[in-house]
């Protein structure tokens, strides 16, 4: 990536984005990261905390596991992680389960490892089981845009979040969607339905790439369920590691849908609330950009560009990758700052499109016009 000689007009880039998503015939997908859920505020506090806050909340709820969590933290820190999070905990625990034997691993007994994994998973699911406010923020705006009669192709939503905020927003607005599950009494994940491309265009597609708090294993079937117990706990996988072969299936299916979308003609992916910290998601996006010249990514970043440490240089250098952060844009591998004197042509402050509320304003404007 090289530094630009001049500066970029922020609103020119917003116009490119606006034109792409205004085209009702263009396949459009949204990749929603943790920042989207964290953007909802109640009483001045995020309804769902970001990863650091979620880690502290989960720890505080697991007082009985504190000694084992301390051992786990020290184990992870010894491998160079300064501040372990729930993602590090689950990655490490699930990596130990297949090899722990009867004696456990590195100071944790086999019982402690399995019990801690279940306790952390249950605590995450409990923390994220929240009600979407009536003022649904960016989720409400995205839902209204998806349900607009101007859309001639189905919108695809890929989310890394395992809460139920997007589902709640869609159902409140009576916007039909398909997430791979069929049935009403005990909905189950159905491979053949996922592979079927005959759904009406007005049906959105919702793919949960890291699982969900309402997914459970029921024998060999993956089902939706509002209740969990020690043998039937939520299938949430912030990490790529799977400790049970049968549990790989839903995650592979979801990622297959992600790759399928990126291979489509003129497909456009908008990332929001995502810091590009998942190397597997990043690799899939890079593969899509390299294999499909017609595929375009708009990476909408909330903060200054320098705060993001995980960008693959090959991703930034791709001609069809357009990054818009608070202070700079990276377009076709060229990094340039914003012209702060540019005339305001959208109701969006310069650099703020990475805020879910600002993207919401753009989508709302399209629905109204």
Tell me, what's the pLDDT at 230?
57
At residue 41, the 3 state secondary structure works out as strand
The b-or-e profile of 109-127 (16+ CB within 10 A means b, else e) is: eeebbbbbbbbbbbbbbeb
- Strand duo 211-212 + 177-178: pairing: unpaired
d(CA 230, CA 216): 11
Q: Are 85 and 139 in contact (CB under 8 A)?
A: no
pLDDT at 343: 84
Quick check: 76 and 92 in contact, CB under 8 A?
A: yes
Mean pLDDT by 10 residues, the chain (369 residues): 72 95 92 95 84 92 92 89 90 79 73 88 91 92 93 93 96 95 89 80 93 86 75 69 56 91 95 92 95 97 92 92 96 91 87 95 92
Question: How many Cα atoms sit within 13 Å of 251 on the Cβ side?
Answer: 23
d(CA 141, CA 356): 10
Measure the CA dihedral 358/360/269/324, to 10°: 0
Residue pair 234/121 in contact by the 8 Å Cβ criterion: yes
Helix (H) or strand (E) holding 30: strand 28-32
Spatial contact of 28 and 153, defined as CB atoms under 8 Å apart:
yes
d(CA 189, CA 199) in angstroms, rounded, equals 16
What is the per-residue pLDDT for 328?
Answer: 95
Count of CB atoms within 10 A of residue 233's CB?
A: 19
Tell me what pLDDT residue 95 has.
81
Strand partners, 271: 31, 299
Which helix (H) or strand (E) covers residue 71, if one does?
helix 66-77
What's the rounded Cα separation, in Å, for the pair 22 and 365?
10
pLDDT of residue 243: 40
Q: What is the pLDDT of residue 360?
A: 96
pLDDT of res. 149: 86
Q: Distances from the Cα of 61 to the Cαs of 55, 89, 120, 265, in angstroms?
A: 10, 15, 9, 47
> How far is residue 353's CA from residue 147's CA, in Å, rounded to a whole number?
22
164: left (phi over 0), alpha (psi -120 to 50) or beta: alpha
- Give the global pTM: 0.92
Q: Please answer whether residues 178 and 206 qualify as being in contact, where contact means their C-beta atoms are separated by less than 8 angstroms.
A: yes
Looking at residue 195, what is its pLDDT? 80
Write down the number of H helices and E strands in the chain.
13, 18
């Amino acid at each position: 990536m090289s530094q630009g000689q001049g500066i970029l007009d922020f609103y020119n880039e917003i116009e490119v984005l606006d034109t792409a998503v205004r085209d009702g015939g263009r396949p459009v997908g949204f990749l929603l990261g943790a920042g989207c859920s964290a953007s909802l505020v109640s009483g001045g506090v995020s309804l769902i905390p970001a990863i650091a806050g979620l880690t502290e909340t989960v720890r505080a709820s697991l007082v009985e596991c504190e000694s084992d969590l301390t051992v786990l933290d020290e184990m992870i820190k010894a491998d160079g992680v300064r501040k372990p999070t729930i993602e590090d905990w689950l990655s490490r625990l699930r990596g130990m389960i297949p090899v722990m034997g009867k004696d456990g691993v590195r100071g944790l007994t086999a019982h402690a490892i399995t019990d801690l994994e279940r306790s952390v998973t249950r605590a995450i699911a409990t923390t994220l089981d929240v009600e979407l406010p009536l003022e649904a923020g960016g989720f409400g705006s995205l839902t209204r845009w998806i349900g607009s009669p101007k859309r001639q192709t189905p919108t695809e939503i890929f989310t890394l979040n395992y809460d139920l905020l997007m589902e709640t927003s869609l159902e409140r607005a009576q916007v039909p969607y398909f997430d791979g599950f069929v049935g009403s009494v005990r909905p189950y994940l159905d491979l053949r339905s996922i592979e079927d491309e005959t759904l009406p265009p007005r049906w959105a597609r919702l793919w949960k790439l890291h699982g969900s708090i309402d997914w459970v294993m029921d024998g060999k079937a993956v089902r939706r369920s509002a209740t969990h117990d020690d043998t039937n706990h939520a299938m949430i996988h912030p990490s790529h590691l799977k400790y049970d072969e049968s549990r790989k299936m839903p995650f592979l299916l979801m990622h297959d849908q992600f790759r399928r979308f990126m291979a489509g003609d003129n497909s456009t992916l908008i990332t929001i609330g995502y810091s590009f910290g998942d190397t597997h998601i990043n690799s899939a996006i890079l593969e899509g950009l390299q294999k499909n010249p017609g595929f375009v990514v708009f990476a909408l970043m909330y903060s200054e560009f320098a705060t993001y440490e995980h960008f693959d240089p090959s991703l930034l250098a791709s001609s069809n990758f357009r990054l818009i952060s608070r202070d700079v844009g990276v377009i076709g591998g060229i990094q340039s700052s914003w012209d702060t004197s540019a005339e305001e042509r959208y109701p969006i402050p310069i650099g703020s499109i990475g805020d879910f509320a600002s993207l919401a304003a753009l989508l709302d404007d399209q629905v109204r016009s």
